[in-house]
DNA sequence: AATGAATGAGCCTTCATTCAT
DNA sequence: GATGAATGAAGGCTCATTCAT
């Protein structure tokens, strides 16, 4: 039996085209016809290769995340001996790059945003697989940074502050109707610079929270 | 004159129903049939009252924002003599409440998120009218807090850090597939508490940025 | 009881507006909403005054024809002693004016054309009342002009030739897609001139038919 | 390659069904559902094969005209050496057959009439492509027949007289409410006979116009 | 293995008409 | 007597999917 290369090629063309179209138009507005046209394949090819539009969508996600997980690991390549501030910096660096770096994650950042606004009931496990470890990592680092005086709510709020600073950068693309977050084209240099800023900003914020809570506890103690 | 009272009522029923359905399903998936059913009116009523699904969508936005602008003014009711930290706190408080407070803004927070992910080319000016003044306000406050040594990029990055902490809270609803941001039901108390946290966190972050930049400038000076 | 003038006025406004809209858009494309707006009345007024769109349409026809029948009688005001050529000229004059003279027949010429192409099953008797006497008149005149040698088919064909020259002038309005029949604005002078031309043209045509048939009969006779 | 033969067939079924329905009901009243039902295809097939109802309508026109242009060329197959009366006869013959001959032009005559009364803004160029050369031909012949004394208005009026005699035969179908133009079924023999009649009638008319104008010119000359 | 033809469910919109005042 | 609100039937179109090669 002859193995035809165009079978695989056609599948990959579809994946690439789908990523672009899904990112640009969103799941709903994206049509299989458009995706097929962009991929240079015929209109039945989506169902042929992926069974349905849904499954194609999932496949796009999977591919994008696998790529991102490899290129930007959550620990940033640091070993366990690194200091908490260093590890926080690495985590932020990882998050930002996964979201913003087109060359790497493809259009997943854009799709992620849509998924946040319009969960497609189709993704589920993929997301959990990716998000859960990140959260655990973040909470570990934060625990160390906030110290023993911090309570669950401190932890959660700080987690929010940090993650949201990163996550919301995916808003950057909303071109027409919103003031764009970034005026310039996004380069790797800018991403790195922003990661550094968020790290600095957040470490200071965490310290402030730690100090305040410590004071409150001492005050409470003294009041008794 | 034959004026029927039910006219206004029908219109408002549609607006309320539309807000719910748009929030739940998103613009694309929401059908006028469903909205009309929920509003207890005929399927032609959307067109009768609003000309089209598009216009209905815009009307929902407008109503939501007008409400929000009234109930939570951007300056938080502070006069000009308030200190920059106070004014920053008021701004954050305003942003959070507009996004999170269901009782007030209706479902606008949810719809806003969708709009960020999937701009409908239908909103345009409304957004600008709301966002532009907020940004200006934020930048004024930040200028004072960052001091004269700060450059445009410092300003922008700090703006990002603060606004994103607030904006991304709209992710909270993503019920099914994502880890929810808030575990508990969101009460006004929690919103206020979160606003206080973000203010504290951000003021510390801004200070850190200010200090770092000042040092860098002095160092540069000394190097020469 | 006070007689309100606006009742009648509103009715007439509707008739006038309807005539214009029907003429411009045709029965199908004309909407009652548009007619009511043009008439300055409310959207229920058509059904109120005329029961239905159909009945309004009939009313427009009736009014237009009554007017035309009065202003341009089929005999052109000639008495019975007039010569056949004179009476033919009067008939043609009458037909043309009824079709072309906007000031008189209102927009009936235009509507007539539509009705030819798309009979609305609604007119019936009105048409017969108008067309039947014209045909009878025409045939009488033609009988005299063609002489005893003419047969039924001669009669019918000549009738066609004359009536069609007049009737088809209603094509003149097809502005966009067809070469317009008249380049200039249509004035009463031009209508009269055209009537004169058609009369001259047709009288010659009739003579030719008469002569030919006479020859054929004589020939047949001689052949025997 | 998977080429299914039914593709072409389905398209042609649609064209045929559409021609019938458009002719019978007119563009507005004709529904795609009805056309599809008549063609034995699915309701989406119109959109699949022709993109829209509009385009289907255009396609019907095109097909009808292409057929007509081939079967009945405007010059009637005469070469340039034919006498003007012969060429006029050929032109009239052509026009009549194009309009009246169902077997050839399909339902185009009927649709043409509708189009005259209710231009659909959809036809445009097609019409011009067909009408313009006919007019030019007609004017050339008329110029020769009318002689040098004729002015532009003579030319135009004679053109009207001839073209209208032919064009208005499309009125024949107005079945229900109008007195039918032809009582008998229309056969090719009758069409030919009518063509002969119109030619005879018109040649005589043209001569009369020529003579009259010549006299007027001479008179004018003499008066000076 | 792969494709072009064909489908059918569903959506937004239009519009003449009716209802309630 | 007259009006503005409201209706419901119907139409054109889109699009993911299936069918028949």
Q: How many CA atoms lie within 13 A of D6 on its CB side?
A: 4
The whole-angstrom separation of Cα C38 and Cα C168 is: 29
Which one of A177, A196, A199, A200 would you mutate to disrupt binding with B, by most B Cβ within 10 Å of its Cβ?
A: A177
Residue D72 — left, alpha, or beta (φ > 0 → left; ψ -120 to 50 → alpha)?
beta
The two structure tokens encoding residue C94? 């009458």
Answer whether B26 sits within 8 Å of A118, measured CB to CB: yes
Q: Answer for D142: CB within 7 Å of strand F.
A: no
CATH class of B62-223: mainly alpha
- The mean pLDDT value for C20-44 works out to 91
Which has the minimum average pLDDT: A154-168, C141-155, D180-194?
D180-194
**Nearest by CB to D121, which of C163, C176, C206?**
C176
CB–CB of C129/C61 below 8 Å? Answer: no
Contact in structure between B80 and B49 (CB atoms under 8 Å): no
Residue C13 or residue C101, greater confidence: C13
- Residues C161 and D198: beta-carbon distance below 8 Å: yes
Mean pLDDT of the D71-87 span:
87
Residues of chain A in contact with residue B115, where contact means CB-CB under 8 angstroms, are 117, 174, 177
What one-character-per-residue DSSP string does chain B give?
Answer: ----THHHHHHHHHHHHHHHHHHHHHHHH--HHHHHHHHTS-TTHHHHHHSSHHHHHHHHHHHHHHHHHHHS-TTTT--TTS-HHHHHHHHHHHHHHHHH-HHHHTTHHHHHHHHHHS--SS-THHHHHHHHHHHHHHHHHHHHHH-TT--HHHHHHHHHHHHHHHHGGGGGG-TTTS--S-SSPP-HHHHHHHHHHHHHHHHHHHHHHHHHHHHHHHHHHHH-
Which 138-197 residues of chain D approach strand E with CB closer than 7 Å?
none
Nucleotide E1's nearest residue (CA vs C1') is: A7
- Average pLDDT of the segment spanning C99-128: 67
Q: Please tell me which residue, A81 or B194, carries the higher pLDDT value.
A: B194
Q: Which nucleotide is nearest to B1 (CA to C1')?
A: F3
Higher pLDDT, B26 or B39: B39
Q: What is the pLDDT of residue A108?
A: 66
| pLDDT (mean) for C155-182 | 74
From the CA of A63 to the C1' of F20: give the distance in Å.
Answer: 33
Contacts of residue A83, defined as CB under 8 A and 6 or more positions apart, other chains included, come to: none
Residues B32 and B19: their CA atoms lie apart, in Å, by 12
Residues near A6 by Cβ (< 8 Å), separated by ≥ 6? none
The 3-state DSSP class for residue A4 equals coil
Rg of chain A on CA atoms, in Å:
21
Q: Are A58 and A126 in contact (CB under 8 A)?
A: yes
Distance CA C210, CA C155 (A): 10
Give the DSSP per-residue string, A117-139: HS--SS-THHHHHHHHHHHHHHH
Residues 23-82, chain C, CB closer than 7 Å to nucleic strand E: 29-33, 43-44, 46-47, 52-54
- List CB contacts (< 8 A) between D131 and chain C: 178-179
Q: Are D117 and C118 in contact (CB under 8 A)?
A: yes
Judge if B5-51 and B62-223 fold alike in CATH terms: no
Question: Which of the 29-48 residues on chain A come under 7 Å of nucleic strand E at their beta carbon?
Answer: 41-45, 48
Q: Tell the residue number behind the tokens 């942003």, with chain if given.
A: B95
B8 pLDDT exceeds 90? Answer: no
Question: Residues B185-220, buried b or exposed e (16+ Cβ, 10 A)?
Answer: ebeeeebeebbebbbbbbbbbbbbbbebbeeeeeee
Instruction: Grade residue C48 by pLDDT with cuts at 50, 70 and 90.
Output: very high
Q: Which residues contact C54 (CB under 8 A, 6 or more apart)?
A: C120, C122
- Tens-place pLDDT, residues C81-95: 899 999 999 999 999
User: Distance (Å) from the C-alpha of residue C37 to the closest C-alpha of chain D?
Assistant: 22
Length of chain B: 224
What is the length of chain D? 224
Q: Where residue B24 falls among pLDDT bands split at 50, 70, 90?
A: confident
DSSP one-letter string for D57-95? HHHHHHHHHHHHHHHS-TTTT--TTS-HHHHHHHHHHHH
Tokens 């002015």 correspond to D151
Q: What's the mean per-residue pLDDT of chain B?
A: 83
In this prediction, residue D91 has a pLDDT band, given cuts at 50, 70 and 90, of very high
Q: A56 near A18, Cβ under 8 Å?
A: yes
**B119–A177 C-beta distance less than 8 A:** yes
Handedness of CA B47, C48, C126, C100 (dihedral sign): negative
Three-state SS at C130: helix
Reference A126, options B177, B147, D213, C34; nearest CA is B177
Contact present, B222 and B182 (Cβ < 8 Å): no
List Cα–Cα distances, B10 to A80, B14, B41, B45, B47, in angstroms.
63, 6, 7, 8, 12
Assess whether pLDDT exceeds 90 at residue A2. Answer: no
- How many secondary structure helices (H) and strands (E) does chain D include? 10, 0
The spacing between the Cα labelled CA in B7 and the C1' in F6, in angstroms, equals: 9
CA A2, distance to chain mean position in Å, is: 41
* Contact assessment for residue B223 and residue B160, using Cβ atoms and an 8 Å cutoff: no
Structure tokens at C40: 């300055």
CB A14 within 8 A of CB A56: yes
Say if D and B touch: at least 3 Cβ pairs within 8 Å: no
pLDDT at C169: 82
Chain E positions with a protein C-beta closer than 7 Å: 1-21
Question: What is the separation of C-alpha D73 from the centre of its chain, rounded to a whole number of angstroms?
Answer: 12
Q: Which of A130-134, A161-165, B66-70, C26-30 is most confident?
A: A161-165
- Predicted pLDDT at D206: 97
Provide the CA C132 to C1' E10 distance, Å, integer: 52
Interatomic CA distance for residues B91 and B95, integer angstroms: 6
- Measure, in angstroms, how far nucleotide F18 C1' is from residue A44 CA: 9
| In the predicted structure, residue C200 carries a pLDDT above the cut 90 | yes
- Judged by CB atoms closer than 8 Å, whether chains meet at C169 and D167 is answered as no
The answer to whether the C-beta of B10 is closer than 7 A to strand F is yes
Residue D1's pLDDT is what?
39
For the segment 5-64 of chain B, residues whose CB is within 7 A of strand E = 30-33, 43-44, 46-48, 51-54
In this model, does residue B2 exceed pLDDT 50? Answer: no
Q: What angle do CA C145, D96, C123 make, to 5 degrees?
A: 75
Q: Are the C-beta atoms of residues C17 and C35 closer than 8 Å to each other? A: yes
Chain C hits for D28, CB-CB cut-off 8 Å, are 26, 28-29
Instruction: Among B57, B132, B161, pick the best mutation site for testing chain A contact (most A Cβ within 10 A).
Output: B161
Residue A46 scores a pLDDT above 70: yes
CB A197 within 8 A of CB A166: no
Note the pLDDT tens digit of each residue in B126-182. Answer: 777 777 888 889 999 999 999 988 889 899 999 999 998 988 887 755 444 455 556
The CA distance from B84 to the nearest CA of chain A, in Å, is 17
- The more confident residue out of D101 and C161 is C161
The CATH number assigned to the domain with range D5-51 reads 1.10.10.60
Q: What is the dihedral angle through the alpha carbons of C71, C132, D177, D68, rounded to the nearest 10 degrees?
A: -100
Whole-angstrom Cα distance, residue D128 to residue B192? 73
Mutation test of the interface with chain C: which of D53, D133, D137, D165, choosing the one with the most C Cβ atoms within 10 A?
A: D165
CA separation for the pair A142, D108 (Å, rounded): 80
Chain A nearest C-alpha distance from B109 (Å): 10
* CB within 8 Å: A169 and B160: yes
Average pLDDT, whole number, for chain C?
83
Overall residue count recorded for chain A in this entry: 224
Do A27 and A57 touch, CB atoms closer than 8 A?
yes
**b/e per residue, A137-152, with b = 16+ CB within 10 A?**
bbeebbeebbeebbee
Q: Where are the domains of chain C?
A: 5-51, 62-223
CB contact under 8 A, A168 and B163: yes
* Chain C neighbors of D58, CB-CB under 8 A: none
Is D123's CB within 8 Å of C177's CB? yes
Dig out the tokens for C83 from the structure: 């010569």
Mean pLDDT of B87-104: 84
Asked whether residue D50 carries a pLDDT value surpassing 80, the answer given is: yes
The answer to whether the beta carbon of residue A46 comes closer than 7 angstroms to any atom of strand F is: yes
At A79, phi and psi to the nearest 5? Answer: -90, 180
- Cβ neighbours, 10 Å, residue A214: 15
Tokens 């229920």, residue located: C44
CA-to-C1' span, D11 to E5 (A): 11
Q: What pLDDT sits at residue B128?
A: 72
CA of A11: nearest nucleotide by C1' is: E2
B160 neighbourhood in chain A, CB within 8 Å: 165, 168-169, 181, 194
More confident residue, D126 or C206: C206
CA–CA separation, C57 and C108 (whole Å): 11
Does C172 have pLDDT greater than 80?
Answer: no
Q: What is the pLDDT at residue B180?
A: 53
CB of B1 nearer than 7 A to strand E: no
Does the pLDDT value for residue D89 go beyond 50? yes
Nearest to C167 among D168, D203, D207 (CB): D168
Average pLDDT rounded to a whole number, residues A145-156: 90
Q: Which residue of D has its CA nearest to C201?
A: D205
> In this predicted structure, which of A148-152, B111-115, C183-187 has the lowest mean pLDDT?
C183-187
Distance C33 CA to E15 C1' (A): 8
User: Residue written as tokens 């499954």?
Assistant: A55
User: What local confidence, expressed as pLDDT, does residue C197 receive?
Assistant: 97
pLDDT-based confidence at residue A172 (cuts at 50, 70, 90): low
């Amino acid at each position: 039996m002859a193995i035809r290369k165009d079978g695989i090629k056609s599948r990959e063309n579809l994946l690439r085209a789908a990523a672009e179209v899904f990112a640009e138009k969103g799941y709903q507005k994206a049509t299989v016809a458009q995706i097929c046209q962009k991929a240079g394949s015929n209109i039945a090819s989506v169902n042929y290769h992926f069974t349905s539009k849904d499954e194609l969508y999932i496949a796009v996600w999977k591919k994008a995340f696998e790529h991102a997980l490899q290129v930007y690991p959550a620990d940033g390549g640091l070993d366990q001996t690194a200091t908490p501030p260093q590890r926080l910096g690495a985590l932020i660096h990882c998050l930002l790059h996964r979201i913003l770096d087109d060359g790497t994650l493809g259009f997943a950042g854009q799709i992620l945003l849509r998924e946040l606004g319009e969960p497609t009931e189709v993704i589920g496990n993929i997301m959990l697989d990716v998000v859960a470890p990140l959260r655990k990592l973040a909470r570990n680092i934060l625990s160390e940074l906030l110290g023993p005086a911090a309570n669950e709510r401190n932890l959660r709020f700080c987690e929010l502050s940090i993650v949201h600073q990163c996550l919301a950068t995916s808003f950057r693309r909303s071109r027409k109707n919103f003031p764009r977050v970034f005026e310039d084209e996004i380069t790797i240099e800018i991403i790195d610079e922003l990661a550094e800023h968020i790290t600095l900003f957040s470490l200071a914020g965490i310290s402030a929270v730690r100090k305040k809570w410590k004071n409150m506890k001492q005050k409470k103690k003294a009041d008794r």
